[in-house]
Amino acid sequence: MLPGGDSERRSDVTYLQLCYISTMRAPVGPAECEDILAVSRRNNGRDGITGLLVVGTTRFLQLLEGPPSAVRAAYARIKADPRHYAAVVVSERQVEERDCPDWAMGYVPGGADKRAELQALVERLAAPIANKNVRAQFTGFAALQAA
């Protein structure tokens, strides 16, 4: 038996992966989406957070992953943002590897004129998400937006 038992063999690095859905307070146009994205990428790069944001016609769906305290702090800020309300966490789990390591925040823009593209883009960007339930949140969300 190893000194310290199983705990010594466990990975030291675990990330929190949190997925939420929320409702826009008012329709969010392309310029506002770009603003959200610019701030997100700046802060997330600083805080070691990666993820994916899908902007639907009336809702946002976002995956945040990173050091647990950083993800919780980001989610608290995001939840308090008046541009949306009724944020509900749809899944929260500890992971040893990130699903979206390359994106400070991957982004699928919404808008009524982009419904058909949205589904194809979400399918592509959500493909690396290892957990099939989380992945299904994204593809299901996109299918609803396109309907």
Ligand X SMILES: Cc1cc2nc3c(=O)[nH]c(=O)nc-3n(C[C@H](O)[C@H](O)[C@H](O)COP(=O)(O)O)c2cc1C
The residue behind tokens 């976002």 is 62
- Work out how close the CB of 80 gets to ligand X at its nearest, in angstroms, rounded to a whole number: 7
Q: Are 21 and 87 in contact (CB under 8 A)?
A: yes
Q: Judged by CB, which is closer to ligand X: 10, or 60?
A: 60
- Work out how close the CB of 135 gets to ligand X at its nearest, in angstroms, rounded to a whole number: 19
Q: Judged by CB, which is closer to ligand X: 10, or 77?
A: 77
Q: Judged by CB, which is closer to ligand X: 64, or 119?
A: 64
CA distances from residue 56 to 5, 17, 36, 112, 147 in whole angstroms, order as listed: 47, 21, 14, 9, 12
- What whole-number distance in Å separates Cα of residue 21 and Cα of residue 104? 19
- Work out how close the CB of 10 gets to ligand X at its nearest, in angstroms, rounded to a whole number: 28
Of the candidates 94, 112, 106, the residue with the CA atom closest to the CA atom of residue 138: 106
- Work out how close the CB of 53 gets to ligand X at its nearest, in angstroms, rounded to a whole number: 6
- Binding interface with ligand X (CB under 6 A): 36, 39-40, 43-44, 53, 60, 62, 64, 74, 77-78, 81, 83-84, 105
